[in-house]
Amino acid sequence: MKFRRYIYILMAVIIAIAGFDTIESQAAKKRTKAGTTQTSSRKSKKKRTTKRKKRKSRKKRYTRRVTKPTAPKPEQPSNDSLTLAVNERLLQWIPEKLNPGGLRVNSVKPDRMSKIARLSLNENFTYLPVTRELIDSLAFHAKAALPDSISDYNVTLNVGTKSLAYFITKVDKLPEKFRKNPPFVVEANPFVHADKGLENDIIALWHSHGRYFKPGSGAWTWQRPFLFQSVEDTYTMSYVLPYLVPMLENAGAYVMLPRERDVNRHEVIVDNDTNDEGQIFSQPYYKEMTGTKPWVTGDLDGFIYDLPDFRDTENPFENGTYRQTTTVTGGKQSVAAWYADIPEDSEYAVYVSYKSFPNSTEDAHYTVNYSGGTKEFRVNQTMGGGTWIYLGTFPLTKGYSDTEPIVTLTNLSEKGEGMVITADAVKIGGGMGNIARSDRRSDIYYDPSTPEVSSDTASTPTDTSDAASKTVSGTNSLSGQNRAEPEGEEESDTDPTEEEEDEVDETDEVNDETEESEETPDARPADTSVPAEPMIPSAPKTVPTFRTSGMPRFLEGARYWLQWAGFPEPVYAPYHGSDDYKDDYTSRGNWVNYLAGGSRVLPNREGLNIPVDMAFALHSDAGKRADDSFVGTLGIYFTQNGDSYRDGTPRINSRMLTDLIMRQITNDIRRQYEPSWTRRSMWDKSYVEARVPEVPTTLIELMSHQNFADMMYGLDPSFKFTVGRAIYKGIARFLSERKDRELVIQPLPVKDFAITREKKNHYRLSWQPTPDPLEETAMPDKYVILARNQGELGFHKIGETSKTHYDLKVADNEIHSFRIVALNKGGLAFPSETLSLREAPGDKTPVLIINGFTRISAPANFKDGNNAGFSADKDFGVPYIKDISFTGYQTEFNRNTGNAFGHSGSNFTTQIIAGNTFDYPAVHGEAIANAGHGFVSSSVGAVESGAVKLSGYKNIDLILGKQKAGIVGNGKSGVRFKTFTPELERQLSVFTNEGGNLFISGENVVSDIFSFRYDPEDRHFAEVVLGVVPAEAPEGGLTETRSGKLLSSDGKTVKYSSTLNEDCYIVQSPDILAPAPGVNAREIFSFSDTARPAGYVINRGRSRNMILSIPLEAITESYARDRIMADFLR
């Protein structure tokens, strides 16, 4: 009653203050949220009553007590001669790659009556990937160790009270009626129905930690140290967002994340709400068209963006409104449309929001219009109301269009009339963090109309400042009742690797608290209650300071995204603002359960009615090895909270999920990159992220971000692709078993893509499938052809075929670009590289553009005595599309500096770094078109395979970009990305000998030939065919330059990309060129800082070469590219 009285008194004060506009500032008005914020000013009594009930219900504390069986005391190992002999034999046999360490046979007890030798194994045996073959082998070797007197005994293997066979990976199947989820968010016209993939499966997943606020310090900080050019808060994101999430979506799954997935720092909100009495931060471009069923304002709360930032307990999905109507099956439709003023050309994630009711429509028809096409979706509005629902990521052009909305919603339905359909805000882009935090919970009650007093007199008997906000155990001052401990702490890594000590950057505070292990009795709560809600303290009388992170939202922890996404405070802040670090990792499991609440997964819990199938967390670990061996991959699950989840699913399924994913990761890494990759243990331990979700869940510690050997692989994009694909395959295998369906793995991207001109205006696209040596089912059945027209940013489908070619007619003189997407019943592959064409006026032979820039790679690394690390300042490597995890260059290379080894900068944490987009033929083609020529393009693989004949062309443009020979990690997968293969050298030699003209641009255009596993034939190719060689410094060796500017032979300056940026990859060490002996050479470019040559024209009689060590696509001004290409083609 006292608590309720405080609420009523507080409401009365707020209402009274609202009447004095001359006293209260506009900002204070906003904080009372007393202004009318509806499109319609009508507010019904029903709405006020509902909101009052909601406030009361949110104050109620609910608990769930789980009766836990008393765990038996661990058996003490025996040291009798029989036990020791069997133990020694088993440990000698177990393969080193499988041994998690700490294995022990506790006892061997012969039973003479039954002639059975009963082996009791310690818990560490469950850390192994248990199979029938493993059990049989263990039994065989155990029997071989028995003395002659009992050598004929059979052997049984037990861990505690369970047979070791209990831990064999066998997935429990769902009841048949639950094997197909109701569609949630689906494309209306998908490229494929992945009915042998993950169609309509719903997966919750997340990556690592994120930026968080540390109460008491007044600062936002990172949860881990900066090591080897990254930080765990962003590192595993570089697996999840570019690789794993798209792979799962390509397989038909709907993937939900508790952190922002869009790395675009821009965000646009378009909403139906206006706020005549205050500020509004959404764009007012919501429009309606009324059909036979009019739009009306709903009776409950909706979204409103009426604050510049949001503080604790403030929910943007409260106090606003939404619009609703009912569905029709024909006639005049009612349409809601969201127009937007887009800040810049870019890709933007598009989210919608709405309200869910039992009688909501199951097929709300949304359309997204983007630069280059449209895409239609069907959204089941019985699920997911009151939060942001992701539709997809789309390229949008800068500016506002009053003729084409970004998103439309119609009330036309194929499932029947009279169902409720609702429309609320649309979110476009990721944006900057807008959750403002302060040191004390009481700060959110600050009243600006109260005169300031000094902080030493601000406290009152009921104002306990931080103490009030940290009431999570002990005695609550309101009721005197004992409060349960919060959900247990995140457990520390007790694997026998060196523990991580977080290094503190001078400019950036890092959390260095030791995470308390739940294995200690004091850390394990008596029940799993939600932490007590703190009493409302008196408002402080000093002006509090609220701070946002000041960073893009995708870098923040889950706690802040979940608040912005409208989740209740008990979900995102179970510690009620007293400890954001714990809130963040605890919120993720709460989020899963809130998603699933009301569905068949958690039918009696409040939530969003989304039937989540499983949850997955990807982290990296601490620990290092002095001998440059691997820390490797660890899996964590939890089964000790009752035998089954709420829906009856056996909890042992989480072990099966963990094992399947770990098998896939380690097997794929060993087969493709590193045979010695370590598979660590599978822990059945009480980590919050593994324990709380009421669905099968696993937490994978992929590798150690502190171990140099691990990170030599871990920074490589192709390695990340392999790991992402392995996780996708492990998840797919689990869910296919769970739902008793055949599994087909989605294909790999096609290879040897080429465009050839058959005759005037007629072209053929051709390609070949890429076999997957690891997966027999991953062959394509069909191919989708995507096209992009000149002036557009995005692609649209123009056709599909089961053949490996596609013919088309081009009727204009514009540039057209194409991608090929392979597909099968398991889903879609990643798209091919992008090739382009242009039909020129007249009937000239087109220029052939060859894309020889296929490299994606980690930064250069080295080992030199006591020093080792990444020399990214010399060779940054090449990200796939873009790098979202680079934080700064490595600064500490000395292995003897302990945990400081690998320390790196943090000044690039918020910057996206451009990589290889595989879309450069269009850039080169634009310069060719401006010179009056047409062109076609080809992958270098199609040339090397003979699919494209060079003899039909007069001019060739070879793109080399940052192509450079290199290896992954220790090089066991071989050398990749050589600039000129022997077959390419042979074909170019023939081409130039027959009078063909050759334009080549690349950072390592000749140095790669001479510097990596030098071959005399390569030198002959450079000198005789190309006509250029690397210049030598006075002391010998290759010289480097980083000027960022060229001087042309006519004295004009040409700029190129020489710094890390979002638009084009960095050119760091372009070759300084010299003409080969005896050739007719004309210098056309030199570096502005050294005057050393960067480009030559070589006249070879019948043919002419133009060689540049600055890639054409890296030259920043288009007019400079045009001049260079015109000079070549004249």
Tokens found for residue 257: 């994340």
Q: How confident is the model at residue 483 (pLDDT cuts 50, 70, 90)?
A: very low
Give the span between the Cα atoms of 936 and 804, in whole angstroms. 18
The helix or strand, by DSSP H or E, that contains position 634, with its residue range, turns out to be strand 633-637
Q: How many helices (H) and strands (E) does the chain have?
A: 22, 54
- pLDDT, mean of residues 832-841: 98
Give the span between the Cα atoms of 938 and 766, in whole angstroms. 9
Residues of the chain with CATH 3.40.630.40: 178-261+440-516+568-738
**Over 70: is that where the pLDDT of 758 sits?**
yes
- pLDDT, mean of residues 215-244: 96
Asked if 474 and 558 count as a contact pair (C-beta separation under 8 A), the reply is no
Q: How large is the angle between the packed helices 132-144 and 81-93, nearest 10 degrees?
A: 130
Determine the residue type at 385: G
The helix or strand, by DSSP H or E, that contains position 351, with its residue range, turns out to be strand 346-352
Residue 457's pLDDT is what?
31
> 1033: how many CB neighbours lie within 10 A of its CB?
12
Residue 492's pLDDT is what?
37
Q: How confident is the model at residue 615 (pLDDT cuts 50, 70, 90)?
A: very high
Residue 522's pLDDT is what?
30
Residue 524's pLDDT is what?
31
* Residue whose C-alpha is closest to residue 372's, from 351, 390, 347, 354: 347
Asked if 260 and 561 count as a contact pair (C-beta separation under 8 A), the reply is yes
**Over 50: is that where the pLDDT of 42 sits?**
no
Q: Which tens digits make up the pLDDT trace of 923-949?
A: 999 999 999 999 999 999 999 999 999
Q: Which tens digits make up the pLDDT trace of 102-132?
A: 999 999 999 999 999 999 999 999 999 999 9
What pairs with residue 118 in β-bridges?
109, 156
Q: What is the 3-state secondary structure (H, E, C) of 294-347?
A: CCEECCCCECCCCCCCECCCCCCCCCECCEEEECECCCCCCEEEECCEECCCEE
Least confident of 461-475, 625-639, 991-1005: 461-475
**Over 70: is that where the pLDDT of 477 sits?**
no
Residue 1102's pLDDT is what?
86
The helix or strand, by DSSP H or E, that contains position 245, with its residue range, turns out to be helix 245-250
Give the span between the Cα atoms of 284 and 269, in whole angstroms. 9
Map tokens 């829906």 to a residue: 647
* Residue whose C-alpha is closest to residue 283's, from 406, 434, 390, 448: 406
Asked if 138 and 176 count as a contact pair (C-beta separation under 8 A), the reply is no
Residue 495's pLDDT is what?
39
Give the span between the Cα atoms of 1044 and 1061, in whole angstroms. 13
Do the strands 341-342 and 346-352 form a parallel or antiparallel pair, or are they unpaired?
unpaired
Give the span between the Cα atoms of 324 and 919, in whole angstroms. 43
**Over 50: is that where the pLDDT of 485 sits?**
no
Residues of the chain with CATH 2.60.120: 35-64+266-428
- Look up the CATH number of domain 81-159: 3.30.70
Residue 156's pLDDT is what?
97
Whether the CA torsion 299, 305, 306, 309 is positive or negative: it is: positive
**Over 70: is that where the pLDDT of 459 sits?**
no
Q: How confident is the model at residue 72 (pLDDT cuts 50, 70, 90)?
A: low
Give the span between the Cα atoms of 445 and 538, in whole angstroms. 7
**Over 50: is that where the pLDDT of 463 sits?**
no
- pLDDT, mean of residues 626-635: 94
Give the span between the Cα atoms of 384 and 670, in whole angstroms. 41
What pairs with residue 817 in β-bridges?
788, 836
* Residue whose C-alpha is closest to residue 960's, from 1108, 861, 1105: 1108
Q: Which tens digits make up the pLDDT trace of 348-403?
A: 999 999 999 999 999 999 999 999 999 999 999 999 999 999 999 999 999 999 99
Residue 216's pLDDT is what?
85
Give the span between the Cα atoms of 378 and 184, in whole angstroms. 8
Higher pLDDT, 389 or 443: 389
101 CB-side CA count, 13 A: 11
- pLDDT, mean of residues 805-820: 98
Asked if 77 and 121 count as a contact pair (C-beta separation under 8 A), the reply is no
Higher pLDDT, 137 or 50: 137
Least confident of 549-553, 797-801, 1018-1022: 1018-1022
Tokens found for residue 201: 């499966």
Q: How confident is the model at residue 670 (pLDDT cuts 50, 70, 90)?
A: very high
What residue ranges in 74-183 does DSSP mark as E strands? 105-111, 116-121, 154-159, 162-163
Asked if 591 and 571 count as a contact pair (C-beta separation under 8 A), the reply is yes
Residue 538's pLDDT is what?
63
Q: How confident is the model at residue 507 (pLDDT cuts 50, 70, 90)?
A: very low
Q: Which tens digits make up the pLDDT trace of 702-753?
A: 999 999 999 999 999 999 999 999 999 999 999 999 999 999 999 999 999 9
Query: What is this structure's pTM?
Result: 0.88
Fold entry, domain 947-1129: Rossmann fold (3.40.50)
Percentages of the chain per state (helix, strand, coil), in multiples of 5: 25, 25, 50
Give the span between the Cα atoms of 971 and 158, in whole angstroms. 42
Q: Which tens digits make up the pLDDT trace of 769-798?
A: 999 999 999 999 999 999 999 999 999 999
Tokens found for residue 586: 């605890």
Q: Left, alpha or beta for 1037 (phi > 0: left; psi -120 to 50: alpha)?
A: left
Determine the residue type at 732: A
- Look up the CATH number of domain 178-261+440-516+568-738: 3.40.630.40
Give the span between the Cα atoms of 658 and 169, in whole angstroms. 9
Q: Alpha-carbon Rg of the chain, whole angstroms?
A: 32
Asked if 311 and 359 count as a contact pair (C-beta separation under 8 A), the reply is no
Higher pLDDT, 552 or 174: 552
Tokens found for residue 275: 């706020």
Residues of the chain with CATH 3.40.50: 947-1129
**What does DSSP assign to residue 381?**
T
Give the span between the Cα atoms of 316 and 309, in whole angstroms. 10
Asked if 951 and 993 count as a contact pair (C-beta separation under 8 A), the reply is no
- pLDDT, mean of residues 577-589: 96
CATH: 2.60.40, 1.10.10, 2.60.120, 1.10.3470. Which one for 35-64+266-428? 2.60.120
Mean pLDDT of the chain: 87
Higher pLDDT, 957 or 53: 957
**Over 60: is that where the pLDDT of 8 sits?**
no
Secondary structure class of 364 (helix, strand, coil): strand
* Residue whose C-alpha is closest to residue 245's, from 570, 720, 716, 719: 720
Residue 514's pLDDT is what?
29
Tokens found for residue 136: 């049989």
Give the span between the Cα atoms of 586 and 936, in whole angstroms. 54
* Residue whose C-alpha is closest to residue 1064's, from 853, 786, 832, 907: 853
Determine the residue type at 370: Y
Q: Which tens digits make up the pLDDT trace of 871-914?
A: 999 999 999 999 999 999 999 999 999 999 999 999 999 999 99
- pLDDT, mean of residues 591-595: 99
**Over 60: is that where the pLDDT of 40 sits?**
no
What are the C-alpha distances in Å from 184 to residues 178, 200, 203, 408, 539? 14, 7, 12, 18, 44
Determine the residue type at 510: V
Secondary structure class of 807 (helix, strand, coil): strand
